[in-house]
Amino acid sequence: MKRKSNTIELSVRDLQTKAKEKPTKTTRKDSEIDYSEIPKFSPKQLAKFKRPGRPILGETPRKAVSIRIEEGVLKKLKTRAKKQGVAYQSLINDILKKAV
């Protein structure tokens, strides 16, 4: 390893040695972490938090499903949804709701 001003030149051997070195990353259990310096949230701050995940659309929550749709049909649905300014999943939901 040679040092020139602010740059370091490494040989292939130096690079191979560095690659073999184990990382010094340490992991800790949650029970070992000191949370005492973290301030508590006030009720006002907690009220600003939002629940993660997608918002409920419509009267009832939606259920995630996986279906196989022909590529051409899906392309047409996406085009139609884009024209209507809605997500294609919402369009599919509306079509199925009317059909059943």
pLDDT at residue 11, as a whole number: 82
pLDDT at residue 5, as a whole number: 62
> Which residues does 18 contact at the CB level (< 8 Å), separation at least 6?
10
Q: What tokens were used for 70?
A: 């022909």
- How many CA atoms, within 13 angstroms, populate the side-chain half-sphere of residue 42? 2
pLDDT at residue 99, as a whole number: 95
Q: Are 1 and 10 in contact (CB under 8 A)?
A: yes
- Rounded to a whole number of angstroms, the CA Rg of the chain reads 28
Measured distance CA(100)–CA(1) in Å, rounded: 73
Q: What tokens were used for 8?
A: 């370091």
pLDDT at residue 95, as a whole number: 96
Per-residue pLDDT tens over the stretch 19-67: 777 666 677 888 888 888 888 889 999 888 877 776 666 777 788 899 9
